[in-house]
Structures are given as C-alpha cells and as structure tokens.
Amino acid sequence: MTLGLFDDAPAPYAAPKVIAPGAALLRGFALGVDEALLQAVEAVTAAAPLRHLVTPGGYTMSVAMSNCGALGWVSDRSGYRYDAKDPLSGKPWPAMPACFAELALRAAAEAGFDNFRPDACLINRYEPGARLSLHQDKDEGTMDAPIVSVSLGLPAVFLFGGLNRGDKPARYRLQHGDVAVWGGPSRLAHHGVAPLAQGEHARLGGRRINLTFRRAR
Ligand code: SIN
Ligand code: FE2
C-alpha cells in the first residue's frame, strides 16, 4: 500500500461502505459535530472520570472507560454488566448529551437502522499501546438495535471479524470522525482494536476517544 501525502486529511462524508451484511463504515460522518462531541466528552468525564476497569479474570484493561446515559457498561471481578450508577461515585451516570444521541440516531439510520435510541454510551480512551481484544458486545438485553461506534483523535486499526471467534478479522483504519455501525446479521460480530500507535492529533494529542452507543435494555 502506498500512502499519499493527504491520506490523513479527513475527507467529508460520502456514503456508507458496507463491510459485512448489516455492518458499515461511515467515513467522516462525525466531522461536522466533532468539536461539540469532544466538549461533551469533557463534561461527562469531569463528572464520571475515565478509569481502568478490572476484568472478571483479574486483568486491568489498557483502555480507560466511562459512560453516560441511563446505563453504563462496567466490569469488575464479579463480571461484566450494565449499571445505572457509576460504581466510583454511587451516583447515576451523567445524562447522554443531546449531540451524542442525535449523531447516533443519524448514523444508525444512514446504515439502515431506523429509530435508534441508545440508552448507554461507553466512552473509551486509548493511549499508545492500549488495545481491545476481539470480543462480542453481548451484555445488552436486546440484540434488536445496532452498535454505533464513533472514532475521535488518533487513528486506530479496527478489527472486524465474524460470528465465530476463529473467523479471521478484517482490518480497517479508523480516523477522527469515522463512524462504524453493526447490527442485524452482524450484531454479534467479533471486533476489537489493535494496539494504538504513537502519534499526535491536533485536537486530542496522543489519544484516541471512542464513543460506543448501545441499546442496553
Ligand atoms: C468497543 O468495542 O467497545 C470499542 C471499539 C473501538 O474503540 O473502536
Ligand atoms: Fe465492543
């Protein structure tokens, strides 16, 4: 692959790129609202700080996480689950900012899933070396709604596999402003993120922020 001089310049959104039945990349879809999203991330994480969760197996995750919306995804030694309260504070998660819900609704519709009303948004922060191993999003109480995943900051390599863990994942470079949507026949596709490479993003420095919208209940 040859890399041209302008390959990293975010291009305006054009059309969905279908990567599997029910799964699409919307490149640049969030570019017009990126600053609003990032300011909302700052407000949410001021109230519910990013933290490194421990897995049921006892590993500390390299990705730091927080949530907003009625429900938040949490992990500890007792398992993975959705909880209405932030275990750090005992208080409800911050409300989902309007700009989050609006973007998630529009992105889902663009990928063919109408009326997406997420009740949970997981905020993931990656620093160089942080990764997310292949997994399925299967802690939600319904599989009827898609997953909408928004990338901000440093680029990452997104791994998108199949329904079986052994299916070799395809690799997609996700840049600032890109949105991935998977639902329907791809709802339980395995996915993950390769270790984040060092870099410098104009707005976020050496970090990547990912927003993952779900219907948890
Ligand atoms: C996730 O699977 O929760 C996050 C995916 C990503 O960071 O792109
Ligand atoms: Fe996931």
Give the domain CATH number at 105: 2.60.120.590
Q: How far is CA 27 from the centre of its chain?
A: 14
pLDDT of residue 9: 66
- pLDDT truncated to tens, each residue of the chain (217 aa)? 445 455 566 778 999 999 999 999 999 999 999 999 999 999 999 999 999 999 999 999 999 999 999 999 999 999 999 999 999 999 999 999 999 999 999 999 999 999 999 999 999 999 999 999 999 999 999 999 999 999 999 999 999 999 999 999 999 999 999 999 999 999 999 999 999 999 999 999 999 999 999 999 9
Asked if residue 201 belongs to a domain, the reply is yes
What's residue 50's pLDDT?
98
Give per-residue pLDDT as tens, 70-128. Answer: 999 999 999 999 999 999 999 999 999 999 999 999 999 999 999 999 999 999 999 99
Dist CA 156 CA 83 (whole Å): 28
Q: Are 63 and 126 in contact (CB under 8 A)?
A: yes
Contacts of 53 (CB under 8 A, 6+ apart): 60, 61, 65, 74, 75, 76
- Tell me whether residue 4 is in a domain: no
Rg (CA), the chain: 16
103 Cβ closer than 6 Å to some ligand 1 atom: no
Give domain status of residue 164, yes or no: yes
Residue 7: inside a domain, yes or no?
A: no
Cα–Cα distance between 10 and 197 in angstroms, integer? 18
Q: Is the CB of 209 under 6 A from ligand 1?
A: no
Structural domain of 146: 14-214
CB 95 within 8 A of CB 86: no
- Whose C-alpha lies nearest to ligand 1, atom 6? 210
Distance of CA 9 from the midpoint of ligand 1 (Å): 22
Nearest CA-CA partner of 88 in 28, 37, 48, 142? 48
Ligand nearest to the CA of 137: 2
Task: Residue 216: count other Cβ atoms within 10 Å of its Cβ.
Answer: 25
Is 196 a pocket residue for ligand 1 (Cβ < 6 Å)? no
53 assigned to some structural domain? yes
Query: Is 175 touching ligand 1 by the criterion CB < 6 Å?
Result: no
Give the tokens for residue 213. 């919208």
Ligand 1, from 55, 74, 132, 150: best to mutate by most atoms within 8 Å of Cβ? Answer: 132
Residue whose Cα lies nearest atom 3 of ligand 1: it is 212
Ligand 1 site, residue 182, Cβ cutoff 6 A: no
- At 42 the three-state DSSP class reads helix
In a domain, 8, yes or no: no
Distance 207 CA to ligand 1 centre (A): 14
Q: Report the amino acid identity of residue 35.
A: E
Give dist(CA 142, CA 217) in Å, integer. 6
Number of domains composing the chain: 1
The answer to whether 93 touches 70, Cβ cutoff 8 Å, is yes
Asked if residue 5 is part of any domain, the answer here is no
pLDDT of residue 11: 78
What's the pLDDT at 1?
45
Q: Which residue from 124, 133, 179, 187 has its CB within 8 A of the most atoms of ligand 1, so it is best to mutate? A: 124
Among protein residues, the one whose CA lies closest to atom 7 of ligand 1: 210
C-alpha 193 – ligand 1 centre gap (Å): 7
- Does some domain include residue 46? yes
Eight-class DSSP state of 185 = G
